Structure formats: structure tokens, C-alpha cells
Amino acid sequence: MPDFRADSSVDLLVKAQSGDDDALDRLLSRYLPRLQRWASGRLPSGVRTALDTGDIVQDAVINALRHLNTLEIRSEGTLQAYLRQAVNNRIIDLFRRAARRPARVEFPEHAAAVGTSPLEAAIGAEAMENYERALAVLSDGDRQAIVLRVELGLPYEQIAGELGKPSAAAARMTVTRAIARLSDEMQRGTSRSS
């Protein structure tokens, strides 16, 4: 039976540093599963994105091996500790990145906008100008009835007293007719500006 002795990690590292791709592949196949087992469960689910543990380990090892030619590893444990520290640093980076990013919150589908949109403001401003222009054309009595009811929101009993009407019903009829004339005038103003 031949004397089979697997190359040590230090021997494989030296060969990989001299450009032996087979040695690098054997080194990775030896350490990636160990590092994945070690890293498994170390990354909380809240920090995980599309990456799983295998992706994180592979990314960390690839970054660590960019410095392959500068490594001076003299024992098996030292290489494993170096690679484990690289994976740990990658996990810490993911924690920090997640802490800087605000938490994702689903936007409700039927959420109402707060405030007026620019379009609503433009339409509102145009409608307000049309209202003011039409109000200015009306008689003093109609204008006063509309302002008391629409702008000040007074009850019909109080409007009757202000306008000298005999009852709340008479004040309601006066306001209704004034609003109808205002509406007609606003329609005419809109058709003139079109």
C-alpha cells in the first residue's frame, strides 16, 4: 500500500503563491466547507439579503486571497484563523451596512397623499380665481349671502338676521339662488378662458 500523505495547507499555500492553480483549488475545497460550517448561523436573518452563508464565505475568501502572495503562514491553524477572520470581517461589514440602511417598510397600497399635489394646487388656484372673479360680478346681496354661508359657514337663522330676511327658510332660498347665479357666472368665466 503506497504511503499516501495529503499536502499540508502550508505546502498548498506555497504552491498556490507560486502560481499552481491546482494547489489553490485544493486549498479552497479544503477550507470553504469548514468556513461555511463556522459561519452558518452567525448572520442574523434581519441582515441577510440575497446572500446566503456560502456566498458570504466565498466573497470573503476571494477577497482574502487577493493578498495571497503577501501571506506568511507557517502553520495549518494560522491559515484557518486568517480565513475565519476574513469571513468575520465580511459579516461585520454586512452588519454595519444594514445599520446604515433604514428599515424597509411596505407602503400601503391605498395610502392617501398628505397635502395637495402640484396639480391640485394649480387647479385650486385657478378655481379660486374664477370664484373670486364671479363673486365680484354678483350683486351685493348675493355676494353677502354667499360669503355668510359658504365662507363663514353661518347657520341660516343667523344669515336671516344679517340679511334682514323673515325666516331661516327665506335665508336658505336667498343663499340657494345666489349660489346658482355664482355657478352660472363661474361657468361663463370658464368658457371664456377656454
Instruction: Return the domain boundaries, the chain.
Output: 9-100, 129-193
Which is nearest to 160 in space by CA: 175, 178, 143?
A: 175
In this structure, what C-alpha cell is assigned to residue 68? 495571497
The CA dihedral of 106, 112, 115, 121, to the nearest 10 degrees, is 120
Three-class SS state of 172: helix
Tell me the backbone φ, ψ of residue 20, rounded to 5 degrees.
-80, 105
Cell representation of residue 11: 505546502
Per-residue pLDDT of the chain (194 residues; tens, 9 = 90+): 333 345 777 788 788 888 888 888 888 888 888 888 887 767 666 666 556 777 888 888 888 877 777 777 777 777 778 888 888 888 788 777 766 766 667 767 776 667 776 766 776 888 888 888 999 999 999 999 998 998 888 999 999 999 999 999 999 999 999 999 999 998 887 676 65
List the CATH code of the domain at 129-193: 1.10.10.10
The architecture CATH gives domain 9-100: Orthogonal Bundle (1.10)
Q: Are 122 and 169 in contact (CB under 8 A)?
A: no
CATH topology of 9-100 equal to that of 129-193?
no
Tell me, yes or no, if the pTM score tops 0.75.
no
